[in-house]
Chains A and B, each alone.
Chain A
Amino acid sequence: MDGRRSGNRGKAGAFGAALALALALLAGVGTPAPAQAQGGEELRAYLDRTDELLDWAAGQVSASGSERARGILNQATQLQRRSRDLLARQRPLEAFSLARRARDAMWHAVRLSREAAGLEERIRVRSERFADQHAQLLERAREGGAGRAGELLERAREQAQRAAERAVQGDLPLAWKLLEQADDLLRLAARQLADGAGPERVAHELERSRSLVDEAGQQLEGGAAEAEALAMLADARDALARADAAAGTDPGQALQLAGLARRLAQRALASAGTGSGAEAVQRLLERFDARAAELAPRLRDGEPGPAQRAFERAREEREASARALADGRVERALRHARSAHDLLEQAARGLR
C-alpha cells in the first residue's frame, strides 16, 4: 500500500503495487507517451481506492469521540483533493506523493478513532467509579478531620475535572491518563485515611498505639521471644516516642508515626506467634470491660448523642468478639475486639 508502513505484511501487496507504480512513474519521466499513460491509469486507480478508503474511514471516525481523528481525517481528505488537482495538471509524481500522505493520515485517523471508541466507554465507567469512591472517602475524611487526605481528595477531584475537560475536547488518551492519576491520588488519600490522618485523632491514635505497644511488651518481654521480635518492639517504642514528641508541633507526622508504631508492634507480635492468639483477645476484652466501666456512668448522665451511639456499637462489637472467640474463630475475634476498642475511644472523645 504505502511505503511508510514497511512492516505491514497484510498490506504487502498494496505496498508492492504502490512501489511498482512509483518506480514506473520515476522511470516514466522522459519516456514515450504510452508508458506515461499507463502510469497515469495506475495512479488514478490508486486515487480511486484511496477515495473508497476515505469514505470507509469517515464512517469509522464519526462513530468515535476523537476530535483529533476527525481533524486528521479532514487533512487526509484535503491531501487527496490536492493530489487529484496535481494529477489533472499532469504532475503525477507530486500527485502520488500527496496521495500516499493522504493514506498515511487516513490510517492514523482510523487508529485514533478505534482507540477512542473503546476509551470513551472506559472513561465513563472509570469516572463513575471515581465519583463513588471519592464520595466515600470524602465522607470518611470529614468524619475524622480532613488533614492531608482532604487535600489529596481535592487534588484528585481537580484531576478528574481536567480529565472530563480533555474528554470533551476529544483528547481521550490524555483524558484516560489524567483519570488514572486521579485514581492514584484517591489511593494515596485512602492510605492516609487508613492510617488515620485527621489532626483531631492524634490523642486517640497515640492512645491506641500505646495500648498495643504495651500489650506487645507484656507478651514478649516476659517470655522467650526471639531477638527479631524484641528489635521490632524496640522500633515500635522508638516510633511511639517520636509520635509523642511530634504531637504538639506536627499532628500529621504524629499520626503517621503512631501508625508505624502500631504496625511494628503488630509485626513483633506476629513474628513471635502471639499476635492472633486467644489470650491476646481475652486481654483486649478485659481491657475493654475495664475502660467501658469507667465511661458508662458519664455516658448515662449525658444526653443521647454520637458518644452514646459509639458506645452502644462498641459493646456490640465486644459481644461479637466474645462469640467469635467462643467459636474458636480467633482472627475474627481479634478484629471485633479492635473495632470495639476503636469505637470505645470514639465514645470517649465524644464526651470531651
Chain B
Amino acid sequence: MAWRLPVVMLLSPYLASAALAAEPGTAAGVWSFDAAVGYDSFSHAYSLATTDTSETVSETRLALGWEGRSPAGGRTAWRLRLEGSIGTDLWRQGLEADWRRRDARGVDRLRVGARLAGRQYREGTDYASASDQGEGRLEAAVVPWAGTGRECFVTGWTAATRFAIASPLEQDQDEAGLGIGLRSRSLASSAWRVALRHAARTYPDSSVIDRRAWSLDVDWSGSVGVAGLARLYGRSERRLAREPTVRPDAWLHWLDAALEVPAPGVDLVAEAQAERWDYGAQTATWVDSWRAAGFLGLRRGDVLAGQWRLGLAGEVFESAEESESYVQAGARAGFEAYGSGLSGSVVVEHGRRSYGTQATDEALPTWTDFSYWRLWLMADWRVSESLTLSALGNWEPERHTEPLDDATLGFASLRLVWRR
C-alpha cells in the first residue's frame, strides 16, 4: 500500500495525458508549472496537570505542481493537475483530473472528475497519528435538461480512504452518493442552486458507526438594489446511523447569510451563520444544541489603496447540557489592500465568552469564562512577475477566569512560490 499509491499517482498523469491525446483536438492544452518552498507551524498551548503545556508541529517543505487545461471555447474541456511535495515530516502527492463535454449551447452535458491523494509520514515525525494514507474520489455529473436560464443536474460520486495502520482516528472509510438538483445557468449577476443528495459512509473496521445522510441544499447569490450583494445558503440534513446507540440519528439545519449594501460614504456589511442539531436520542456525548453567530459592521475605502472594516461580532450557543451554553461578543477591525505589489489583509478581534450556568452534576465538565484575542493575517508580496512571497497566520489566545484553563491556538505559514 505504502509504495503502490505513489507509483500509481506518478503514472496517472501520463496515462491521463495519453488518454487526452487520443482524442483529436484536445491534446494541445495550456500548461503551467509552479514550485514552492515553505514553512508551516501549528501550535496549541494549554495547561495540564503534568509539566507539558504546549504542542508545536513545524514542517518545512518543497512542493511542485504541474497543471494543464484545454484551451477555452472547445466542445470538450479537460483539466489535469499533478502535485507533490517533500516535507520534513510528510511526503504528499495529489492528482486532480476533470473532463467535460459541452453541447452547442455551452451546457456541460457530461462531466467526470477524479482526485487521488497520498501521504507518507517520515520517520521521526512530530505528528501524533502517523499512518500512511491514500484517498481517492471519482465523481460524475450529467445535465439531462437545460432551459434558457436553468438546468437540471444529476450527480454521483464514490470515494475511499485507506490507512496503512488503523487507529481510532485513522479508520478506513468508503463513501458513495447520488444527488439531483436544479441550478441557474445565466451569466447574469444572480445565481442559485437547489440540490437533494443521499450519501452512505461506511467504515470497514468499525461498522457500528456507518451512516447514511439525506440532505437538501439551497444556495443563492445576487444583487440587492443598485450595487448591493447578498448570499444565502441553507442546508438541512437527516443522518441515519447504523447503530443509533453508538452514534444517534440526527437532524442538522445550517444557514449562512451575507449582505453588503452601499450606504453614503461606506458599505454596510452583515454576516450570519446559524446551525441546529437535534439528536434522535441524546447521550452524554451527543446533546441537542443550536448556535448563531454574526458580524455587523462598516467598510470604507478603496480596496487598492486600503480598505477598513469595523464592526461587532457575536455568537450564542445553547445546548441541552446547560453548562456548555455561552454568549460571546467582540469587536472586530480589519484592513485589506490589493495593490499590484503588496496585497493582503489583517483582522483583529477582541471579546469575551461567558458561560451562563455551571454543571450541577459532578460527572460533567465545567467551563470557565474567558476573554480572547484573534489575529488573522494574510499577505502576498509579488517579488517579480513569476515570484511571490506569501504569508498566512493566526494567533488566538484565551485568558480564562481559571488560569489553568488558558489556551492558545496558533498557525503560521511562509512560502516562496514560483509560477510559470
Q: Mark A residues whose CB is within 8 Å of B.
A: 1, 4-11, 14, 53, 56, 59-60, 62-65, 67-68, 70-72, 75-76, 79, 101-102, 104-105, 107-108, 110-111, 113-114, 117-118, 121-122, 125, 129, 132, 142-143, 148, 151, 155, 159, 162, 165-166, 168-171, 173-174, 177-178, 181, 184-185, 188, 192, 194, 250, 252-253, 256-257, 260, 263, 266-267, 269-271, 275-276, 304-306, 309-310, 312-313, 316-317, 331, 334-336, 338-339, 342-343, 346, 350
From known contacts A107-B365, A169-B128, infer whether A60 and B284 are also in contact, taking CB-CB under 8 Å: yes
Q: Which of A1, A105, A346 contacts B362 (CB 8 A)?
A: A1
Chain B residues whose CB sits within 8 angstroms of the CB of A14 once the complex forms: 362
Chain B residues whose CB sits within 8 angstroms of the CB of A117 once the complex forms: 285-286
Query: Does residue B189 face the partner (Cβ distance < 8 Å to A)?
Result: yes
Query: Does residue B262 face the partner (Cβ distance < 8 Å to A)?
Result: yes
Q: How many angstroms from the CA of A142 to the CA of B323 in the assembled complex?
A: 49
Q: Which of B48, B105, B401 contacts A108 (CB 8 A)?
A: B48
Q: How many angstroms from the CA of A79 to the CA of B52 in the assembled complex?
A: 14
Inter-chain contact B304/A257, CB cutoff 8 Å = yes
Inter-chain contact A53/B363, CB cutoff 8 Å = yes
Q: How many angstroms from the CA of A67 to the CA of B44 in the assembled complex?
A: 13
Inter-chain contact B188/A75, CB cutoff 8 Å = no
Task: Return the chain A residue nearest B254 by Cβ.
Answer: A125
Q: Mark B280-310, 1 if CB is under 8 A from A, else 0.
A: 0001111001000000000000111000000
Q: How many angstroms from the CA of A57 to the CA of B259 in the assembled complex?
A: 44
From known contacts A4-B402, A10-B366, A174-B409, infer whether A125 and B237 are also in contact, taking CB-CB under 8 Å: yes
Q: How many angstroms from the CA of A307 to the CA of B248 in the assembled complex?
A: 54
Selected A-B contacts with CB under 8 Å, 6 pairs:
A1-B362, A5-B402, A10-B358, A10-B361, A129-B254, A148-B338
Q: Which of B133, B169, B187, B340 contacts A170 (CB 8 A)?
A: B169
Q: How many angstroms from the CA of A79 to the CA of B51 in the assembled complex?
A: 12
Inter-chain contact A79/B50, CB cutoff 8 Å = yes
Inter-chain contact B73/A269, CB cutoff 8 Å = no
Q: Mark B377-400, 1 if CB is under 8 A from A, else 0.
A: 010100000001010101010000
Inter-chain contact A306/B73, CB cutoff 8 Å = yes
From known contacts A5-B366, A62-B168, infer whether A170 and B128 are also in contact, taking CB-CB under 8 Å: yes
Tell me the total A-B contact number using a CB cutoff of 8 A: 211
Chain B residues whose CB sits within 8 angstroms of the CB of A309 once the complex forms: 104-106
Q: Which of B188, B247, B303, B380 contacts A339 (CB 8 A)?
A: B188
Inter-chain contact A114/B106, CB cutoff 8 Å = no
Inter-chain contact B73/A350, CB cutoff 8 Å = yes
Q: How many angstroms from the CA of A72 to the CA of B284 in the assembled complex?
A: 19
Q: How many angstroms from the CA of A39 to the CA of B133 in the assembled complex?
A: 53
Q: How many angstroms from the CA of A70 to the CA of B254 in the assembled complex?
A: 30
* Interface stretch (choices B1-9, B10-18, B21-29, B222-230): B222-230
Per the CB 8 Å criterion, the residue count for chain B at the interface is 94
Inter-chain contact B128/A67, CB cutoff 8 Å = yes
From known contacts A4-B404, A174-B42, infer whether A104 and B368 are also in contact, taking CB-CB under 8 Å: no
Inter-chain contact B190/A335, CB cutoff 8 Å = yes
Task: Return the chain A residue nearest B221 by Cβ.
Answer: A190
Inter-chain contact A155/B392, CB cutoff 8 Å = yes
Inter-chain contact B169/A336, CB cutoff 8 Å = no
From known contacts A155-B392, A185-B378, infer whether A173 and B289 are also in contact, taking CB-CB under 8 Å: no
Task: Return the chain A residue nearest B271 by Cβ.
Answer: A187
Q: How many angstroms from the CA of A188 to the CA of B307 in the assembled complex?
A: 13
In the assembled complex, the CB of B418 is this many whole angstroms from the nearest CB of chain A, namely: 13
From known contacts A11-B366, A184-B376, A252-B340, infer whether A177 and B409 are also in contact, taking CB-CB under 8 Å: yes
Among A64, A118, A132, the one with the most B-chain Cβ atoms within 10 Å of its Cβ is A118
Inter-chain contact A168/B227, CB cutoff 8 Å = no
Inter-chain contact A75/B189, CB cutoff 8 Å = no
Task: Return the chain B residue nearest A62 by Cβ.
Answer: B168
Inter-chain contact B362/A151, CB cutoff 8 Å = no
Inter-chain contact B128/A71, CB cutoff 8 Å = yes
Inter-chain contact A256/B303, CB cutoff 8 Å = yes
Task: Return the chain A residue nearest B117 by Cβ.
Answer: A161
Query: Does residue B233 face the partner (Cβ distance < 8 Å to A)?
Result: yes
From known contacts A8-B358, A309-B106, infer whether A266 and B226 are also in contact, taking CB-CB under 8 Å: yes
Q: How many angstroms from the CA of A171 to the CA of B304 in the assembled complex?
A: 37
Task: Return the chain B residue nearest A246 by Cβ.
Answer: B340
Chain A residues whose CB sits within 8 angstroms of the CB of B411 once the complex forms: 162, 174, 177-178, 181
Q: How many angstroms from the CA of A327 to the CA of B55 in the assembled complex?
A: 65
Task: Return the chain A residue nearest B260 by Cβ.
Answer: A191
Inter-chain contact B44/A105, CB cutoff 8 Å = no
